[in-house]
Amino acid sequence: MSVTSGLPFLKPEHLMPSLTSPGRQRRHTLPASEFRCLTPEDAISVFEIEREAFISVSGDCPLHLDEVRHFLTLCPELSLGWFEEGRLVAFIIGSLWDQEKLTMDAMTLHKPHGSTVHIHVLAVHRTFRQQGKGSILMWRYLQYLRCLPYVRRAVLMCEDFLVPFYQKSGFKVLGPSEITVGPLAFIEMQFPVRGHAFMRRNSGC
């Protein structure tokens, strides 16, 4: 059984108990909403959403297409995509890291024996923004990480204006990141995955 198949918060809606009357059937066969780990075959869809979301704001993408494929090949279990009727509408890509602070190496490396998940990117398709999807996806992702026994914490870096968004998801500011990209500076933030015993007992892990 795959990791995700036993996790109720990743189960597609078409496998959940129906809230509609027994006589009503969907007219299509694709699930209305599905959360699953991404695969290298999703890389182009991922990059198209990411490119539109980031280039207009910062002029560059956190991950280029070859890097997206790289991480979805090495550690697809640390990604999560939100699909609606088969269409990717939002995603998160992460990898493992083995140091307390992020360095430039963390931008391209996956450390299989690390206990820190480096969240590289969270992006939502332009037609689905301002609907709270980013927050929902992040919540599901953090719940998922609690079911991975080797994960101790999640870290990310973001620009100043995004700090309040991630604070609402439970991330705490660590301070300025050592990483800069051209003129851009970042704040490093972390979320403690371990130490939430009550949440784990009730998460279905």
Active site residue: 65, 74, 109, 174, which one?
109
Residue 166 is among the residues annotated as catalytic for this protein: yes
Q: Tokens for 43? A: 């890389």
Q: What are phi and psi of 141, to 5 degrees?
A: -65, -45
* 82: its two tokens: 């939100």
Task: For residue 5, indicate whether it is catalytic.
Answer: no
Backbone angles phi, psi at 173, to 5 degrees: -75, 130
From the list 95, 96, 118, 141, the catalytic residue is 95
Using CA atoms, how far residue 93 sits from 69, 131, 140, 178, in Å, is 11, 20, 13, 21
Catalytic residue among 80, 102, 122, 137: 122
Per the annotation, the verdict on 95 as an active-site residue is: yes
SS3 157: strand
The residue annotated as part of the active site, out of 72, 88, 102, 120, is 120
* Residue of 78, 102, 137, 166 with catalytic role: 166
Catalytic residue list contains 2: no
Which positions are annotated as active-site residues? 95, 109, 120, 122, 166
